[in-house]
Chain A
Amino acid sequence: MGLADPVARAALSVMRRIGADDLLLAAADGGLAVETRSKDRLMLQSVIQLDGDIVTFVVADLPPETTLAKAHFQRVEAKLRTLIGSVNKLLATLIALPTAVIVGTTLPAAIEGEPAAWFALAAEALAAFGAVSLPGPRKLAARFLLRPAVKWMLRSRGRALLRSALTL
């Protein structure tokens, strides 16, 4: 699926919006480079790959004291922390997709005027939003709301479907 695909384009736009750009950049370039210079000379270069592999290039005359190397790897770890943050955002977005499907299936019931469906719909939307955008405890609360909403939706819609099948 290339970027000509509207779904891929939409997904790309979502990733930009949730701030997972560096993850995209790492995927597009095959990795991210972290470079450390000393007196304008490149001394250490690490290429971080999405799967965690690291290739580090060092000049042969790197000073024996490890201060420069330690400073370099502090920057590498900072970059890795940013990447993990982006991975978490991406995965949260992906988990929100099935939730969105559930919201989509509840919507007809709400439109038909089943009052409980409106509650479920609101809870699911909040949960989907929370999975993507909310930090910490609010995300947890949003996820907590998801469970009863999903339960209700599956029970009521499942029964309705069963009833229609039996009528047929």
Chain B
Amino acid sequence: MPDPTAVEQGLVANLTKLEINTIIKENLTARKMPDPGNAILDIALTYAWKLNASGFDFDAWFSDPLLADSGKRLAGKERLAELRSLETELAERARLFVADFARKDLGAEQRGFDDSLITIDAKTFIALRWAAWVISQHPDVTAKRQVILSRIRQNSDQMKNLVLRLYGQKQFEQIFGCSRSSLNRIADDPRAQARDIVQIAPRDMTLLRKTWEIGVQEVVAQTVIDLDGDTITYISRRYTNPSWAHMLEVHRLGVQSAVGYWGNLIDAMRRFLTDLVSLAVGGSSRRE
């Protein structure tokens, strides 16, 4: 359970933008998002499998000494400095990979990869981000695939930042660097409890849930509404055909529900602030 005093911060943090997504999902199941550690791994593995399907050689990419776990547990500023330097070097390396990758037939040569390389670490998301960038530079990448690659890049950056915010937390340190198999192996270990009690701020939990839910699914329609009234709706070209009109109606109903809630939420916040101000103004008028 989160700290209830942070719930309000989570509410306020993201109130300036409303986002409604409608996604077609084959084999829709009521699977619930797992504990944060497994959810972070789910996201990283989903991205890795998607990138791997393009023929990207993950084993070679992750076996780079840059990404190897030095075993050192750097803290605070040292760790941040290490990650910054990794990001710069990996970006350089990605540029060298582009020419080689562009010569390959996209997705023709698919190979598996060792999923123990995917661990709960900011490094994982830096590696995924730059792998997605390399693939996006291939001349045969379709517009549809570019959308997914762009999402992987953006979300990897956000997940990296989320993981960075968890660094230093005692419970998180216990699962830090775990791959899926090592996370499962600690099921009988006291550390297993750590998986469930990693403290994630509500706004990060919201981000984690959304990233986990959307994964690499194709979005049928997305509406983004800004507080200043700007509204942008993206509709995947495939679903503009009249035979998919009922899907767009589903999206419209979603937008209608979300806008109604958003209005009430902003109104509640406005009343709260007015009450606070009236308390404060009461005080200042007496000082006169």
Contacts and interface: CB of A to CB of B under 8 A. Distances in A.
Contacts of B33: 29-30
Interface in A70-91: 70, 72-73, 76-77, 80, 83-84, 87-88, 90-91
The 10 closest A-B pairs by CB, nearest first: A30-B209, A51-B14, A30-B205, A27-B202, A52-B262, A80-B261, A73-B253, A91-B272, A11-B4, A57-B25
Interface stretch (B110-118, B124-132, B244-252): B244-252
Contacts of A130: none
Interface in A25-55: 27-31, 33, 35, 42-55
A30 B6 contact: no
Contacts of A147: 282
A56 interface: yes
A122 interface: no
A95 interface: yes
B74 interface: no
Interface of B: 1-8, 10-11, 13-15, 18-26, 28-30, 32-33, 199, 202-203, 205-210, 212-214, 217, 220, 245-247, 249-251, 253-254, 256-258, 260-262, 264-265, 268-269, 271-272, 275-276, 279, 282-283, 286-287
B30 A45 contact: yes
A69 B11 contact: no
A52 B263 CA distance: 9
Chain B binding site: helix, strand, loop or mixed by DSSP? helix
Nearest to A57: B25
A24 interface: yes
A110 interface: no
A24 B1 contact: yes
Contact of A53 (B26, B202, B210, B249): B210
Nearest to A131: B275
A45 B254 contact: no
A91 B270 CA distance: 11
Contacts of A15: 4, 7
A69 B203 CA distance: 29
Given A1-B5, A91-B268, A80 B257 contact: yes
Interface of A: 1-3, 5, 7-8, 11-12, 14-15, 23-24, 27-31, 33, 35, 42-60, 62-66, 69-70, 72-73, 76-77, 80, 83-84, 87-88, 90-91, 94-95, 98-99, 147, 150-151, 154-155, 158
B238 to A, nearest CB: 11
Given A49-B209, A62-B247, A90-B8, 20 more contacts: A1-B3, A8-B4, A12-B3, A30-B205, A30-B210, A31-B210, A42-B28, A42-B30, A47-B210, A50-B10, A54-B258, A58-B220, A59-B24, A64-B245, A66-B249, A69-B246, A70-B253, A84-B261, A95-B279, A155-B286
Contact of B254 (A56, A63, A95): A56
B43 to A, nearest CB: 12
A30 B257 contact: no
